[in-house]
Amino acid sequence: QASRLFHPENTVIKTAHSLIGAANMTIMAGPCSVESQEHIFKMAQVAKQGGATVLRGGAFKPRTSPYSFQGLGEAGLKYLRAAADENEMDVITEVMDDEHVPLVAKYTDIFQIGARNMQNFSLLKAVGQTKIPVALKRGMSATIDDLLNAAEYIAAGGNQQIMLIERGIRTFDNKYTRNTFDIGAVPVLQQLTHYPVIVDPSHAAGYWDLVTPLAVAGIAAGASGVIVEIHDDPAHAFSDGPQALKPAAYQVMAQHCQQVQQLV
Grouping H, G, I as helix, E, B as strand and the rest as coil, residue 254 is helix
Minimum distance, C-beta of residue 183 to ligand PEP, in the bound complex (Å): 16
Angstrom distance (rounded) from CA 186 to CA 159? 22
Q: Longest C-alpha distance within the chain, in Å?
A: 48
Minimum distance, C-beta of residue 188 to Mn ion, in the bound complex (Å): 25
Q: Which does 115 bind (CB under 5 to 8 A by kind): Mn ion, ligand PEP, none?
A: ligand PEP
Whether 222 contacts 260, CB under 8 Å = no
Nearer to ligand PEP, 8 or 66 (CB): 66
Nearer to ligand PEP, 116 or 170 (CB): 116
Q: Which residues is 111 bridged to in the sheet?
A: 93, 134
Provide the residue type at 250 as one letter: Y
Minimum distance, C-beta of residue 94 to ligand PEP, in the bound complex (Å): 6
Nearer to Mn ion, 32 or 199 (CB): 32
Minimum distance, C-beta of residue 48 to ligand PEP, in the bound complex (Å): 19
Q: Which does 194 bind (CB under 5 to 8 A by kind): ligand PEP, Mn ion, none?
A: none
**DSSP secondary structure letters along 166-196:** E--B--S--SSSSSB--TTHHHHHHHHBSS-
Any idea of the CA torsion for 14, 15, 18, 19, to the nearest 10 degrees?
Answer: 0
> Judging by DSSP bridges, how do beta strands 197-199 and 225-229 pair with one another?
parallel
Fill in the DSSP letter of residue 64: S
Nearer to ligand PEP, 33 or 87 (CB): 33
Minimum distance, C-beta of residue 198 to ligand PEP, in the bound complex (Å): 11
Q: Which does 114 bind (CB under 5 to 8 A by kind): Mn ion, ligand PEP, none?
A: ligand PEP
> Judging by DSSP bridges, how do beta strands 13-14 and 19-20 pair with one another?
antiparallel
Residues forming contacts to ligand PEP in the complex (CB under 6 A) are 32, 58, 62, 114-116, 137, 167, 203
Angle between helices 74-86 and 37-49 (to 10 degrees): 40
Nearer to Mn ion, 28 or 32 (CB): 32
Nearer to Mn ion, 182 or 240 (CB): 240
Of the candidate residues 90, 94, 182, 240, the single one contacting Mn ion (CB under 5 A)? 240
Residues 5-34 binding Mn ion (CB under 5 A) are 32
Catalog residues that contact Mn ion under the rule CB under 5 A. Answer: 32, 240
